[in-house]
Amino acid sequence: MKIYLVGGAVRDGLLELPIKDHDWVVVQSNPEQMLKEKFIPVGKDFPVFLHPTTHEEYALARTERKIGVGYTGFACFASEDVTIEEDLLRRDLTINAIAFDFEAFKKDHTDCIVAEKALIKFKRLYAINAQDVAHYLVDPFYGLSDLKSKTLKHVSEAFKEDPLRVLRLARFYAQFYVLGFRIDITTQKLIGLMVSNRELTELTKERVWVESLKALKTDSPHVYFKFLQDTKALEQIYPEFDKLINDKTLNYLEKISQITDSPELRFAVLLSDITKISIERMNKAQFNAFFHELRISNEFTAMVWVASQIGSWEKLFELSANEILALLATINYPRQIENLDHYISMSSLISKINKPNCEMTLQQNRLKKQFLEELHTQLEAINAKKYIDMGLAGIEIKEALITEKKAIITEILKKYDRLKLVQ
Are 175 and 291 contained in the same domain? Answer: yes
pLDDT value at residue 73: 55
pLDDT of residue 285: 85
Q: Are residues 313 and 300 in the same domain?
A: no
Number of domains in the chain: 3
Same structural domain for residues 328 and 408? yes
What's the pLDDT band for 63 if we cut at 50, 70, 90? confident
Phi/psi for 247 (5° steps) reads -60, -35
Looking at the structure, do residues 127 and 189 belong to the same domain, yes or no?
Answer: no
Least confident of 11-25, 56-70, 119-133, 292-306: 56-70
Q: Taking 80 as the threshold, does the pLDDT of residue 365 lie above it?
A: yes
Assigned domain for 159 exists: no
Residue 158 within any structural domain of the chain: no
The mean of the pLDDT values for the chain is 90
Does 335 share its domain with 236? no
Q: How many other CB atoms are found less than 10 A from the CB of residue 169?
A: 26
The CATH number for 131's domain is 3.30.460.10
Q: Do the Cβ atoms of 13 and 121 come closer than 8 Å?
A: no
How far CA 362 is from CA of 260, 367, 369, 417, in Å, comes to 19, 9, 11, 17
Task: Look at residue 379 and tell me whether its pLDDT is greater than 60.
Answer: yes
- Domain termination site, one of 152, 180, 214: 152
- Do 193 and 105 fall within a single domain? no
Q: Tell me the CATH number at 221.
A: 1.10.3090.10
Burial class (CB in 10 A: 0-12, 13-18, 19+), 25: buried
pLDDT at 421: 47
**Any domain includes 135:** yes
pLDDT score of 417? 79
Domain that holds residue 283: 164-307
Answer with the one of 152, 179, 200 that is the final residue of a domain: 152
Distance of CA 245 to the CA centre of its chain: 16
pTM to 2 decimals? 0.87
- Give 74 or 325, the one with higher predicted confidence: 325
Shared domain for 20 and 74, answered yes or no, is yes
Which pLDDT score, from 0 to 100, does residue 44 have?
72
Q: Which helix (H) or strand (E) holds 49?
A: strand 48-50
Residue 316 pLDDT: 92
296 and 331 part of one domain: no
pLDDT in tens, 11-59: 999 999 999 889 999 999 999 999 999 999 997 767 899 999 989 999 9
Quick one: 22 and 126 in the same domain?
A: yes
Instruction: Write out pLDDT tens, residues 132-176.
Output: 999 999 999 999 999 999 999 999 999 999 999 999 999 999 999
Query: What's the pLDDT score for residue 422?
Result: 46
Query: Which of 118, 152, 186 corresponds to the end of one domain?
Result: 152
Residues 411, 299 share a domain: no
pLDDT at 13: 93
183/263 same-domain check: yes
205 lies in the same domain as 288 = yes
